[in-house]
Amino acid sequence: MIKHAKTKHPDKYAEYEGKSQICNKQSILNLQGLKIKELNTEKTRQITHAIAKFITLDMRPINIIEGEGFLELLKILEPRFQLPSRTMFSETIIPQYYKQMKSSLIEELNKITYFSLTFDYWSSIANKSYLTITIHFLDY
């Protein structure tokens, strides 16, 4: 980073040269005056899609994205990423992901010839009723 600053941004490097700190015997340069490239839209889309997949596949509450630990993780992994709001996830991103997964499942099911279905009806302790449908098939 220091070599890059010296060669590509000598004026900014000279300005901050005296302000570097020693931390674990490595020199850290404060480069606040330099502009960081914005995150491209494809990478932003990939990260947003991965977060939606994390929430849906792991059955996490949507407000997990507002948690301190989650925000810190995102900041470390990709500090340039601007996290969409919880409303954006609940009203737009996750419903789009649902539609995409539903159409993919329908497409997969249309390819099968033979299958078996299992239905399971049960009630929770809170007296809430559930119906589970399981399909088994071979795709070869």
pTM score above 0.75: no
> For residue 121, what pLDDT is reported?
93
From CA 126, how far away is CA 111, in angstroms rounded? 39
Q: Which of 57, 90, 54, 56 lies closest to 70, judged by CA?
A: 54
At 92-130, the pLDDT tens digits run 999 999 999 999 999 998 999 999 999 999 998 999 999
> For residue 77, what pLDDT is reported?
93
- Lookup result for tokens 């004026």: 11
> For residue 37, what pLDDT is reported?
76
From CA 112, how far away is CA 96, in angstroms rounded? 25
Q: What angle do CA 17, 23, 26 make, to 5 degrees?
A: 70
- Lookup result for tokens 């005056």: 33
> For residue 7, what pLDDT is reported?
79
pLDDT less than 50: residues of the chain: 20-29
> For residue 34, what pLDDT is reported?
57
